[in-house]
């Protein structure tokens, strides 16, 4: 497996885990609750940092293309990524 393919596979695993944590926050807290908002803010920050790290090992163009592909896959599955 090519290095970039492995990186994108690991990113997808991280993204699914962050999405799962976001769902847990939705189940356990009201969206206006401080803990919900703080938790979602932290998940968004983690996601942004993971994407930024990917840019250091892959070309920015490659990262953008892969992220767009994943967004389209989410829309087709009717499961938009919360970030």
pLDDT for the residue numbered 82: 63
The percent of residues in the chain predicted with pLDDT above 90, rounded, is 40
Average pLDDT of the chain is 85
pLDDT for the residue numbered 21: 94
DSSP assignment string, the chain: --HHHHHHHHHHHHHHHHHHHHHHHHHHS-TTSHHHHHHHHHHHHHHHHHHHHHHHHS-HHHHHHHHHHHHHHHHHTT-----
pLDDT exceeds cutoff 80 at 65 = yes
Span 13-20, mean pLDDT? Answer: 91
pLDDT digits (tens, 9 = 90+) for 21-49: 999 999 999 999 999 999 999 999 999 99
């Amino acid at each position: 497996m090519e290095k970039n393919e492995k990186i994108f596979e690991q990113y997808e695993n991280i993204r699914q885990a962050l999405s799962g944590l976001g769902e847990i926050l939705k189940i356990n807290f009201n969206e206006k609750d401080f803990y919900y908002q703080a938790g979602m803010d932290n998940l968004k920050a983690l996601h942004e940092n993971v994407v930024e790290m990917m840019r250091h090992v892959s070309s920015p163009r490659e990262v953008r293309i892969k992220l767009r592909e994943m967004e389209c896959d989410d829309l087709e599955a009717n499961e938009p990524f919360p970030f």
